[in-house]
Amino acid sequence: MKKTIMSIAAILLFYPVSMAQVLPGSPLKGLTEVMVIVEDPPLEVAREGITRDQLQKDVELQLKQAGINVPKELGSFLHVNILGLKPANCQIYAFHIEVTLRQTVILDREPPSKLDKCATWKIGGISFVEMANLSKIREEVKFYVDGFINTWRFENSKK
């Protein structure tokens, strides 16, 4: 039990519980479409039926319902990644979800430099759930995607 507490304490020490990062300016302003790339979830999560395909469909549907087009070809993309840790002899599962918008960026220099797949917006955090309730991870993914959608709506609202 002592190792479990130390493992969880280490996670909280090195990672913020929740965070959002945005580059200066408005990286979501004028964005009309975004592809979705979801990484495979940890094995413990996949064993509970939460698959990459299921998460992919969830996120795409969320974006479409918000009015954001979801193309199949690669351009700007929303990257969803879940990392997890189950300490031995513990029924608590610690996980980190990160939702990152990656876009092509042109650096304002002479000569201008073009960079692909730069993180221009990011939100994520750490949470804990009982092993019997791993399905709540889907709700957490939805929460962070909602953060993206709300920021997108704010930056694209008519003022």
Radius of gyration for the chain, computed over Cα atoms and rounded to the nearest angstrom: 17
Pairing of strands 18-22, 77-85: unpaired
Q: Provide the b/e sequence for 112-124 (b: ≥16 CB within 10 Å).
A: eeeeeebbbbbbb
pLDDT tens digit sequence for 81-111? 999 988 888 889 999 999 999 997 777 777 7
Number of domains in the chain: 1
What is the pTM for the complete model shown? 0.81
Beta carbons of 34 and 63 less than 8 angstroms apart: yes
Give the tokens for residue 151: 């920021």
How long, in residues, is the chain?
A: 159
* CA 34/CA 56 separation, integer angstroms: 13
Q: Which residues of the chain have pLDDT under 70?
A: 1-25, 158-159
Supply the CATH number for residue 63's domain. Answer: 3.30.160
Structural domain containing residue 149? 2-155
* CA 146/CA 89 separation, integer angstroms: 34
- Which pLDDT score, from 0 to 100, does residue 3 have? 56
Give the tokens for residue 39: 């990484």
Rounded to 5°, angle at Cα 27 from 23 and 33: 145
- Which pLDDT score, from 0 to 100, does residue 104 have? 78
